[in-house]
Amino acid sequence: MTESAYHNPNPLAAAVVLQEKEFTQFSDLIYRIAGITLSTSKKPLVTSRLAKRLAHYGLRSYGEYFKMITSIDGKEELQMAVDLLTTNETHFFREPKHFDFLRQHILPARKLGKTLRIWSAACSSGEEPYSIAMLLDDVLGISPWEIVATDLNTRVLDMARRGQYPMERMSEIPKNYLSKYCLKGVGSQDGTLLIERKLRERIQFKQHNLNEAPPKLAEFDVIFLRNVMIYFDQNTKRQVVSRLLTLLRSGGYFLIGHSETLNGVNDDVRLIQPSIYQKP
C-alpha cells in the first residue's frame, strides 16, 4: 500500500480514542507475531505510539489503521507498527556480572584456535553486542571470534548498525574501553559517540523474530537472551528457549536477565549461578 493513498494528515488523530475492541486487536496481533503479551495497562502506550501513524495517514480510528496494516498491501506499515510496539530498553555493560563471568570463566576455558561464537538474541539498538565485542577484542586480541546480533525491530537494528549513540551513554562504558573503541563526535556529530569501525564490522546484525524458527546459523558457544522473556507468557518462554538451545553447543552458556529464570521453562540446561546456565 502506497503512502500516496493516505495523504491527508488528520490534526485530531492524537485525540482519537483507542477503543477496547481495537486494543484487543492490536494486542492479539503483537502476540501472534512476536509472542509479546500486552496487558491492559499498556493501552496508553499503544495509543501514544500509534497516534502519529494515524495522523500520517489521516485516519480517524485505530480500527482503520489495524485494517490497513493487516491488508495484503500493508506489510511495510505492519513492520512499522511492530517496531513501535516492541519495547527496546538497554544500555552498555548492563548487568556487569555477566561480563565478569565471560571474562573470568568462559574465555579462559575456550578451545584455542577455535572461533568463539556468541549470539546476542535480542540485541535492541546494539549496546549489548558492542559491549561484548569490546571485551572480546580486549581479552582475545587476534584470536578469532564472531558475534551475531538479532532483533525483531528493524528501526533499532538500523541504529545498531550505525553504532552511534548519545554522549550521555559514555558513562556506562569503562574508561579504557571508551578511549580504545569509541570516537567522540565533532561538528554536526557533536554530542554523540561512534563505536570504532573495526568493532562495527565484526558484528553481523540480522532481523529475527524469536517467535519463529531460528535462522540457519552454526552453533554458538554463548547465547545472550536477556530481559526479553519478561514480555512472554510461560508457553512462549518455553518455545523460544527451546528453539535457541538447538543452536547452543554442548558445554555452551545461556545467559538471561537477572530478574528472569528458567524454572519451569526448560530442564535441558543446568544452573551455574543466578541467570547463567550451561548446556550439558
Helix (H, G, I), strand (E, B) or coil at 184: strand
**Structure confidence at residue 72 as a pLDDT band (50, 70, 90):** confident
Place of cell 554522549: 167
CA atoms of 191 and 95, how far apart (whole Å): 25
Task: Give yes or no for residue 115 having a pLDDT over 50.
Answer: yes
Q: Is the pLDDT of residue 9 over 50?
A: no
pLDDT at 185 over 60: yes
- pTM given for the model: 0.86
In this prediction, residue 5 has a pLDDT band, given cuts at 50, 70 and 90, of very low
What proportion of the chain, given as a percentage, has pLDDT over 90?
Answer: 76
Please determine, for residue 1, whether its predicted confidence score (pLDDT) is greater than 90: no
pLDDT given for residue 74 in this prediction:
87
Q: Give the mean pLDDT of the chain.
A: 91
- Give counts: helices (H), strands (E), the chain: 10, 10
**Candidate from 20-24, 167-171, 239-243, 245-249 with smallest mean pLDDT:** 167-171
Residue 7 has pLDDT above 50, yes or no: no
Cell of 239: 518455545
pLDDT tens for each residue of 150-170: 999 999 999 999 999 999 888
Report the chain's C-alpha Rg in angstroms: 21
Q: What are the residue numbers of the active site?
A: 49, 151
- Of the candidates 169, 155, 98, the one whose C-alpha atom is nearest the C-alpha of residue 125 is 155
Mean pLDDT lowest for which of 7-11, 128-132, 178-182? Answer: 7-11
Which residues have a Cβ under 8 Å from the Cβ of 127 and sit 6 or more positions away?
90, 91, 92, 94, 165, 169, 172
| Whether the Cβ atoms of residue 103 and residue 140 lie closer than 8 Å to each other | no
Q: Tell me the domains of the chain and their CATH numbers.
A: 3-85 (1.10.155.10), 96-278 (3.40.50.150)
Residue count of the chain: 280
Task: Assign 130 a pLDDT band (cuts: 50, 70, 90).
Answer: very high
Q: What is the mean pLDDT of residues 130-159?
A: 95
Res 239 pLDDT > 50: yes
pLDDT value for 73 = 87
